[in-house]
Amino acid sequence: MTDFSQLSLGLAEVCRRAGQFIHQEATSFDRSRVETKGLHDMVSYVDQEAERLLVAGLRELLPEAGFITEEGTTGGNSLATTTDTEYTWIIDPLDGTTNFIHGLPCYCVSVGLLHNGELAAGVVYEVTRDETFRAVRGGGAFCNDRPIRVSDAATLGQSLIATGFPYTKFGQLDDYLQILGAFMQRTHGVRRVGSAAADLAWVAAGRFEGFFEFNLNSYDVAAGILLVREAGGKVTQFLEDGDPLFGRQVVASNGHVHAEMQQTIGQFWK
């Protein structure tokens, strides 16, 4: 039987090594080597090489596992919505690529592990702050190996909320802007960091009370979902308790403000 606690320590080390590569490349990054995957969706050689490093390290940890990867270096489907293997790594080698390209802080390595379809371990390594967030199913959540918990704020009026802005599929932009306006009026404020992995990790650490975003992929959120849950929080889809991992929309919170967040979103989301 797999010891997921022990495995998560090895996973953290693999993520830190990839993060160190990213940190080194940031000092001399050549913006001319950026490729465009789609509207506002960019990738660099750093993303691709970091993913190759992660895949190589994770294959040593768990040779039998499959992969869902953002950059497709394993030949898998980055938009997969299910898995048929006992173990599956879900990898985002550089969450916050736009920040990285522009020399802005906050970008992460994010890796989650599915075991029989359930999240079992996850790590988010925030490169610029050198913070390793780690979670194990049933084993709690940690930042640099210290236990973390969600905040105890009881209402939206006591909360700081994070979100992400859509960069493709603008058909629901008007709905989103109304939701954003409502949260701006009902909370301490709304922040847009530029990395969903960091947003979720920071909810788990009690820095944000909540986070919401749509049009997300599994590799954006896999590790972060487990972090929030193991830190005592709640993660769902916008208007229901469906699977947020493959559902392409996420509401995460400390649990106390979750109903208020869903009610606020539900006023405008169709």
Stretches in the chain below the pLDDT threshold 70: 32-33, 35-43, 75-83
Annotated binding site for Mg(2+): 70, 92, 94-95, 220
**What pLDDT is attached to residue 132?**
98
**What pLDDT is attached to residue 39?**
46
- Residue 53 CB partners (closer than 8 Å, separation 6+): 14, 17, 18, 21, 93
Q: What residue spans define the domains of the chain?
A: 4-147, 156-266
Annotated binding site: 70, 92, 94-95, 220
Phi, psi angles (nearest 5°) of residue 134: -135, 140
CB-based contact 210:258 (threshold 8 Å): yes
**What pLDDT is attached to residue 76?**
56
Summarize pLDDT for 41-84 with one digit per residue, the tens.
456 788 889 999 999 999 999 999 999 998 777 765 555 555 67
Q: What is the mean pLDDT of the chain?
A: 92
Summarize pLDDT for 184-213 with one digit per residue, the tens.
999 999 999 999 999 999 999 999 999 999
How many Cα atoms occupy the beta-carbon half-sphere of 77 within 13 Å? 7
**What pLDDT is attached to residue 81?**
54
**What pLDDT is attached to residue 75?**
60
β 35-38/41-43 pair status: antiparallel
Domain 4-147 in this protein, CATH class: alpha beta
CATH code 3.40.1080.10 for 156-266: no
Which of 22, 93, 24, 85 lies closest to 52, judged by CA? 93
**What pLDDT is attached to residue 40?**
47
DSSP secondary structure string, the chain?
---HHHHHHHHHHHHHHHHHHHHHHHTT--GGG-EEEETTEEE-HHHHHHHHHHHHHHHHH-TT-EEEESS-TTS--TT-----SSEEEEEEEEETHHHHHTT-S--EEEEEEEETTEEEEEEEEETTTTEEEEEETTTEEEETTEE-------SGGG-EEEE---SS-GGGHHHHHHHHHHHHHHSSEEE--S-HHHHHHHHHTTS-SEEEEES--HHHHHHHHHHHHHTT-EEE-SSSS--SSSSSEEEEE-STTHHHHHHHHHTT--
